[in-house]
Amino acid sequence: MVKWLERLAKLALLPVLVWFAGLAAFAVIGIDGLFAGPNPVFVIARVTAYVTVVMVAAVTTAFVAAFGLACGAMLNWLGESLDPRQIVATMSRSFWCLAAYVWLGVASLILDPPVALTVFEMSEPDALEVRVAETTAFAWMGRLRYLALIGFLATSFWLLARRTRPLNALLAVSFGVAALAAVLTGLGLLSGPSLVP
């Protein structure tokens, strides 16, 4: 058992798996708590919400990979010789911060589960936003998201600085952040606002 746990701890992708398990638990408690009931309206809402969560998970993985690629490109340009596998392992281990963040959310949802929406509330345009704002867990997750992001970046820097010069690691992380911000801003500007006023 101990040997098995030791092997598991050495697995580079373990933090990503822990994060994904937390996200799945958070989604199940949150979505099933908000949209409870056999009414087709709730079924459609649950299906849509689950598909959205899976998309968010996949896109987050891709953005972290883009961040890692940018970091690797900058380190390569600065003359550091880092194997792509080491970049993947660094990005993966930085996921511990995101994993802690989502599991904190799971714990707070268990302590204070959301109150289910009624069929009549579902027809109101802003009922979901109001209910999300009223739920302590969702409100705190919103406030703590920047802290989780800072933790992720600090861990990435710390892990990179162990293998490269600290200044180069700092430049690589800064370039990664700038590249990711550019990608996110570009996609945001491209998708634009909704046509519905």
Partner 1 sequence: MLATTLAKDNWVGSFLGAVFVLVVGLVAGIAIAEWINAMPAESTPPVVAHRSPGAEPASWELFAFILRRNMTVFLILLLGVLSAGLVTIVVLLGNGLAVGQLIGFARTSGMSHVDVAYLLLPHGVLELGALCVAGAVGLRGIGLAFGVSAVDRRAFESLRLGTVLVFGLVALATAAFVEAFVTVEIAESLSGRW
Task: Answer for the pair 162, 100: CB distance below 8 angstroms, yes or no.
Answer: no
Residues 6+ apart with CB under 8 A from 154: 97
Q: Which of 54, 130, 167, 178 binds partner 1 (CB under 8 A)?
A: 54
Tokens of 122: 């579902």
From 52-60, 103-111, 136-144, 151-159, span contacting partner 1 (CB under 8 A): 52-60
Tokens of 137: 């867990």
Tokens of 193: 């606002």
Decide: is 85 part of the binding site for partner 1 (CB under 8 A).
Answer: yes
- Cα 160 to the center of its chain, rounded Å: 21
Backbone angles phi, psi at 116, to 5 degrees: -65, 145
From 104-112, 120-128, 131-139, 154-162, span contacting partner 1 (CB under 8 A): 120-128
> Nearer to partner 1 by C-beta: 92 or 108?
92
Decide: is 38 part of the binding site for partner 1 (CB under 8 A).
Answer: yes
Q: Which residues lie near partner 1 (CB under 8 A)?
A: 38-41, 43-44, 47, 51, 54-55, 57-59, 61-63, 65-66, 69, 83-85, 88, 119-120, 123, 125, 187, 190-192, 195-197
